[in-house]
Every structure is written in C-alpha cells, then in structure tokens.
C-alpha cells in the first residue's frame, strides 16, 4: 500500500538511471504560466528532482520561475528541454539552445533533446551542434526523442558526444519493446512520456485489478510497471493531488504476477501520432 504522506518519501529515495531521477514531472500542454510555475514548484517541494519541458511547449519561462521559487538548489534538479524541428539546423540549434537557457534562467541544462527526427533534422549537422554545446558545458547530456531503432543507429554513429536518452511515448498499451531493446544495445536510457496514456490506463481491467490488489491507484501501478522495465517516466500533472499521487508510485512494488498481467494487455494505443513522425 502506498504511503498516505507523499512528503514522507525523501527525494533521495527516487531511483536514478545514470544520475537521472527515474520519475520526473512532464509539462506538456501546461501552458498557463502561473499554473505551470506552481506545478513545478509543488513537484520540487514534494520531492521530484527531474523536470521536463521543451521549446515547443512555450512554457520554459514558467518552468524556470517554478525552479527559482522552489526551496531546492538548482544543482539538485535534473532539467531537460528539447529543440523543436524547425530549429535543428546547426546555427539554429546553437542559438535556440541559448535562448532556452535564457528563458529557463539557468546556465546549463542536464539534458537537451532533439524533439523529433523531422523537419530540419540532419543527423550530422544537428548532432554536431549538440556535441558543441556539450563541449561548451551548456548541456550536460545529449538526448533524442521519438527516434526509431534505425534513427538511433545513425545518431550513435555520427554524434561525437554519447547519446544519453531516447524519449518516446511508452505505457502498458505501447510498451515499445523494439525501441527499448535497441536503446539497451546502445547503452541509451529510455524516458517514457505519456506514461498514463492520457488517462487510458484507468480503463484497463488488468491495471485496475493490480491497483485493487495493492490498494493503490491505476496511475501508480502504471508508473511502477514502467520503472520495473527500467524506464524513466515523466507524467504530466498540474494539480498538487496528482503530483503527489504520482510521487507515491515510488512506494509501489509489483511482483512477477502483476508484471505478467500488465504485459498481457492486448490493446495497442498510440496517443501522440503527428504526420511528421518517423513511423508515418
């Protein structure tokens, strides 16, 4: 059973993957500046130490305000953002990354992703710019997002800096086995966005059964399932109740029977599917 007091779960209890906390706060569609800043502050003061944003979310300023307002040192926060597909030419990467730092109010980010291998993305040009930012110390790690195994193969080959993570949609109805296997082969961490499938996990009988067994929520079960797969998750949450509910997932321990039950879900659902995605 999950603890009733999220504050009792110390920040240091969150498992990490190569220094990246495996539970973070996603901020996609959190575009109300005041609410976004408050969400980030609440998350950090609850115990989160991983915040994810992107240029395309148009909330980097608010995320920075939330980090500044929280009673948490910047050095303790693993902060990630992403370069949009229209800014992936070399000069645009270098300029837009600095603009992101300015909006966030920080000297560096812990992880900078290529948001999609689309638009102006050119593996050699884009990744050489990210490597340059890495050498300058403006980004701690280079990441990619929505990359298929074939995209990863090229990126690993041409990027001077190590590819740290691949962020993809991942949840019980889209477990991404092929991508996880490829990332494992390349020693790349997997970060799962939309880990609650935009609420679809609440309607799955298998997840409901596991949640009832452990007296926890379906969201907590889904996040614990991903963690058992070695996947870092960044569920979006705006209200304090949901932020704390997700944090409490760290207390949930699933057994093999639970994992097998969830793995047996035969429904497939992809929630994020733009025309420019590499699989389309």
Residues marked active site are found at: 57
Q: How many residues does the chain have?
A: 280
Residues 23, 50 contacting (CB under 8 angstroms): yes
Instruction: Tell me the C-alpha distance between 107 and 100, whole Å.
Output: 10
Instruction: Compute the C-alpha angle 150/96/103, nearest 5°.
Output: 125
The DSSP code sequence of the chain is: ---S-GGGS-GGGS-EETTEESB-EE-TT---HHHHHHHHHHHHHHT--EEE--GGGT-HHHHHHHHHHSSS-GGG-EEEEEE-GGG-SHHHHHHHHHHHHHHHT-S-BSEEEE--S-TT--HHHHHHHHHHHHHHTSBS-EEEES--HHHHHHHHHH-SSPEEEEEEE-BTTB--HHHHHHHHHTT-EEEEESTTGGGGGGG-HHHHHHHHHHT--HHHHHHHHHHHTT-EE--B--SHHHHHHHHGGGG----HHHHHHHHT------S---TTSTT-
Q: What are the φ/ψ torsions at residue 181 (nearest 5 degrees)?
A: -65, -45
């Amino acid at each position: 059973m999950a603890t009733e007091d999220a504050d009792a779960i110390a920040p240091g209890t969150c498992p990490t993957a190569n220094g990246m906390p495996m539970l973070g706060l996603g901020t996609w569609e959190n575009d109300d500046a005041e609410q976004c800043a408050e969400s980030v502050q609440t998350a950090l003061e609850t115990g989160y130490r991983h915040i994810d944003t992107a240029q395309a979310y148009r909330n980097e300023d608010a995320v920075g305000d939330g980090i500044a307002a929280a009673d948490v040192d910047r050095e303790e926060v693993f902060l990630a953002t992403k370069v949009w597909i229209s800014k992936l030419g070399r000069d645009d990467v270098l300029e837009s990354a600095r603009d992101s730092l300015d909006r966030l109010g920080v000297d560096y980010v812990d992880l900078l992703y290529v948001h999609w291998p689309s638009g102006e993305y050119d593996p050699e040009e884009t990744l050489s710019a990210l490597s340059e930012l890495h050498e300058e110390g403006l980004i701690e790690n280079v990441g990619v997002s929505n990359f298929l195994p074939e995209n990863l193969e090229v990126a690993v080959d041409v990027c001077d800096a190590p590819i740290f993570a691949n962020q993809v949609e991942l949840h019980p109805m889209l477990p991404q086995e092929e991508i996880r296997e490829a990332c494992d082969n390349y020693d790349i961490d997997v970060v799962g966005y939309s880990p609650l499938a935009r609420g679809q996990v609440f309607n799955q009988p298998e997840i409901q059964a596991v949640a009832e067994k452990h007296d926890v929520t379906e969201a907590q079960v889904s996040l614990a399932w991903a963690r058992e797969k070695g996947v870092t998750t960044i569920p979006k949450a705006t209200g304090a109740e949901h932020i704390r509910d997700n944090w409490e997932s760290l207390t949930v321990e699933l057994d093999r029977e639970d994992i097998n039950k969830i793995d047996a879900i035969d429904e497939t659902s992809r929630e994020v599917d733009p025309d420019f995605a590499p699989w389309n």
